[in-house]
Amino acid sequence: MQVRLCEIVSDVEHINIEEIVKVLDNQKPFKDYAYILHDKDTYNEADETKNPEHKAGTPKKAHYHIAIRLEYGTDTKYIANWLGIKENFINKVKGKWVDMLKYLTHENAPTKYQYTEDEVTSNYNWKVEKTKAINKSNSETRKIQIINDIVSGVIREFNYHEHITIDEYDRYKKSIDNAFKYRTDIIKGAKRNMECVYITGKSGTGKSTYAQMMCEDKGYSVFVSSGSNDVLDGYAGQDCIILDDLRPSCMGLSDLLKMLDNNTASTVKSRYKNKVLECKLIIVTSVLKIDEFFNGVFKEQKEPIVQLKRRCKLHLRFEQDHYYASLFDDKKGDYSEEYKYVNPVATMYPKIELTDEQKLNYINTLLVTGAELTGKVEAPAEEDKDPLTAKERSLQNKVDMLYRHNGILMNELDRKG
């Protein structure tokens, strides 16, 4: 039997340790060795089960453990001959060298008597090698833990810094990136269990605040969209997406319907790379009623509005003191009757009328020091008209339409590609 790592286990009476050490120090191919005398071991219940004469708790015979590393593979019969022992005393090490070093003191056998490192005799600095090997093993274990946590969704792109130190990120970056990509591949096309809510109401009625409250109540991590043409810019795997104050011009109908798809986790177009959503909840807030939102931009599309309403199963209509909830009815093809609730945001942030003194105190904290007040006049009434001229508005509508058509074309190219 050829070995490069081997262990000799023998009772004290059967070997001469001094003679063996002389051979190990002077005979090739012996390279490194470490040995210890185990003279405080006791039998346990398992030993007694195997041999009734070995009563649990009684001491074992004193014996040596000798760990040997050779320069190259060598037959055990030659090793036995050189050391002057029987060949059956030599055991091939099936595990790692460091595991054998740890066993000398029973470091990896906590139920057995724990010997000290000072009781080990060696021809090299085995403690340093053991420490390096343990650190390397711990590092590998930690890397595997990080990878598993990413794949299982515990660690996501938005919270990785809470779980991974900067040192770990630097050392394992390639593995971390691969793990995130692997998780994305798992999610693609998987069955999605997601709810969609459409919240409408005038500005200041608490739509955005209530959307945040819904997420916090469920313990969801939240991504609030920027409201730009790339609504998913910055999304990093959060549980909930709030499309806050979503404008119809922000995305094409097909993109929106794909994003709100309650069943299939398909990719959604984003500026730098398409995103795979793994959220549990999407909330759309808008000053436009859902019919106005759809008809204002999507009325020329082939998809009927029922596709949008079916996805946004829960509809919330906000007023100052109350909000009204209704569910989409498949048979009716529209939302059912509304249920009236107290608007909690109104009580959280009640409308307060400030006195002139309070107004001035606040104003003066922001103005340049020494600003001179010369009087008080009524604020001019705002003109309720489009800030754009009819010609400008027509041009803006054409630009919006071009953007939507471009989005449809890009989706079609992606599908064919």
**d(C-alpha 296, C-alpha 303), whole Å:** 14
**d(C-alpha 34, C-alpha 125), whole Å:** 10
Q: How many domains does the chain have?
A: 3
Residue 220 lies in a domain: yes
- Dihedral sign of CA atoms 47, 48, 53, 56 in order: positive
**d(C-alpha 71, C-alpha 199), whole Å:** 74
Average pLDDT, the chain: 87
Task: Assess whether pLDDT exceeds 80 at residue 58.
Answer: yes
What pTM was estimated for this model as a whole? 0.65
Is residue 269 located within the same domain as residue 300? yes
Is residue 215 located within the same domain as residue 303? yes
Query: Each residue of 350-367: pLDDT tens digit?
Result: 778 889 899 999 999 999
What pLDDT, on the 0 to 100 scale, is given for residue 109?
93
Residue 357 lies in a domain: no
Is residue 106 located within the same domain as residue 38? yes
Residue 356 lies in a domain: no
Task: Assess whether pLDDT exceeds 70 at residue 386.
Answer: no
**Hey, how many other C-beta atoms are within 10 angstroms of the C-beta on 350?**
7
Task: Assess whether pLDDT exceeds 80 at residue 252.
Answer: no
Residue 361 lies in a domain: no
Residue 353 lies in a domain: no
What pLDDT, on the 0 to 100 scale, is given for residue 155?
95
Is residue 329 located within the same domain as residue 224? yes
Is residue 199 located within the same domain as residue 331? yes
Lowest mean pLDDT among 196-200, 208-212, 286-290, 388-392: 388-392
Residue 368 lies in a domain: no
Is residue 243 located within the same domain as residue 176? no
Is residue 239 located within the same domain as residue 148? no
- Residues spanned by the domain of 145: 137-189
Pick the last residue of a domain from 124, 154, 172.
124
Rounded to the nearest 10 degrees, what angle do helices 17-26 and 76-83 cross at?
Answer: 120
**d(C-alpha 107, C-alpha 99), whole Å:** 9
Is residue 158 located within the same domain as residue 213? no
What is the band of 242 on the pLDDT scale with cuts at 50, 70, 90?
A: very high
Is residue 39 located within the same domain as residue 148? no
**d(C-alpha 192, C-alpha 267), whole Å:** 12
Task: Assess whether pLDDT exceeds 60 at residue 408.
Answer: no
What is the band of 186 on the pLDDT scale with cuts at 50, 70, 90?
A: confident
What pLDDT, on the 0 to 100 scale, is given for residue 397?
65
Pick the last residue of a domain from 330, 348, 366.
348
Pairwise pLDDT comparison (388 vs 87), residue with the higher score: 87
What pLDDT, on the 0 to 100 scale, is given for residue 394?
67
**d(C-alpha 312, C-alpha 320), whole Å:** 23
Residue 116 lies in a domain: yes
Pick the last residue of a domain from 95, 124, 153.
124
Counting residues of the chain whose pLDDT is more than 70, the rounded percentage is: 86
Is residue 113 located within the same domain as residue 215? no
Is residue 179 located within the same domain as residue 203? no
SS (HEC) of 38-98: ECCCECCHHHHHHCCCCCCCCECCCEEEEEEEEEEEEEHHHHHHHHCCCHHHEEECCCCHH
Is residue 87 located within the same domain as residue 174? no
Task: Assess whether pLDDT exceeds 70 at residue 416.
Answer: no
What is the average pLDDT across 375-386? 72
What is the average pLDDT across 405-416? 58
Residue 184 lies in a domain: yes
Beta bridge partners of residue 36, listed in sequence order: 65
What is the band of 60 on the pLDDT scale with cuts at 50, 70, 90?
A: very high
Q: What is the CATH number of the domain that holds 38?
A: 3.40.1310.30
Q: What is the CATH number of the domain that holds 279?
A: 3.40.50
What is the average pLDDT across 116-139? 93
Lowest mean pLDDT among 45-59, 192-206, 252-266: 252-266
The answer, yes or no, to whether the previous bond of 52 is cis (omega within 30 of 0) is: no
What pLDDT, on the 0 to 100 scale, is given for residue 94?
83
Task: Assess whether pLDDT exceeds 90 at residue 247.
Answer: no
